[in-house]
């Protein structure tokens, strides 16, 4: 069983820098609160910043994200992990840590936005150590079936007692679920960890 997906990399649309400058201007308007003689300019500076954000977003054609897809793939299996052209055999992989947050299209209301939003599936990441080096890799989840493929690999890892951690941000998960104490005991018995 293997899990195969696109690698998410940090990248910036050069046209989006105008929108980022607008955010800086809008945030800088808050500093004017501390200069009493300039406090009457706050609405104008803030409005200018928001205007620059909108203009920057239009120029960037709405793509102001700071990440995108790599040409390379991530492949995870019981044999090892392939990040692009580099293969790490499982016997040299340590401290494997999967942060699985959301798949593309999943409605997420994490408090960052008042009404929530749909995820783009690009906020997941894998971290592990190999040969003394730390390898970090963002990865994409396209939908529920893609998540089930990853869960299939996790199931195999648990059956073979391959050490790894799965989590959703700061919450430790087991087969992509947060378990209560009773469920955790049943989980350990099922996979022979008790």
122 lies in the same domain as 79: yes
Domain count, the chain: 2
35 lies in the same domain as 98: no
Give me the residues of the chain with pLDDT under 70, please: 11-16, 60-67, 110-116
Place of tokens 């501390």: 34
**Host domain of residue 41:** 12-59
CATH number for 137: 2.30.29
3-class SS string, 74-130: EEEECCEEEECCEEEEHHHEEEEEEECCCCCCCEECCCCCCCCEECCCCCEEEEEEE
Query: What does the pLDDT look like over 70-124, one tens digit per residue?
Result: 889 999 999 999 999 999 999 999 999 999 999 998 887 765 555 567 888 888 9
147 lies in the same domain as 168: yes
Q: How far apart are CA 188 and CA 174, in angstroms?
A: 10
Confidence (pLDDT) at 108: 79
151 lies in the same domain as 180: yes
pTM of the shown model: 0.73
54 lies in the same domain as 73: no
41 lies in the same domain as 98: no
């Amino acid at each position: 069983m293997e899990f195969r997906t696109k690698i998410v990399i940090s990248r910036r649309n050069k046209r989006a820098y105008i929108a980022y400058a607008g955010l800086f201007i809008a945030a800088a308007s808050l500093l004017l609160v501390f200069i009493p003689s300039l406090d009457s300019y706050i609405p104008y500076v803030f409005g200018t910043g928001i205007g620059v954000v909108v203009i920057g977003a239009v120029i960037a054609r709405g793509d102001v994200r700071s990440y995108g897809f790599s040409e390379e793939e991530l492949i995870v299996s019981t044999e090892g992990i392939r990040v692009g052209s580099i293969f790490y055999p499982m016997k040299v992989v340590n401290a494997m840590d999967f942060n699985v947050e959301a798949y593309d299209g999943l409605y997420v209301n994490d408090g960052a936005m008042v009404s929530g939003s749909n995820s783009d599936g690009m906020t997941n990441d894998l971290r592990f150590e190999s040969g003394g080096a730390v390898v970090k890799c963002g990865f994409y989840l396209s939908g529920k079936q893609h998540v089930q493929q990853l869960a299939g690999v996790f199931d195999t890892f648990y059956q073979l007692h391959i050490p790894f951690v799965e989590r959703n941000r700061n919450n430790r998960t087991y087969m992509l679920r947060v378990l209560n104490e009773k469920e955790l005991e049943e989980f350990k018995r099922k996979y022979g960890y008790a």
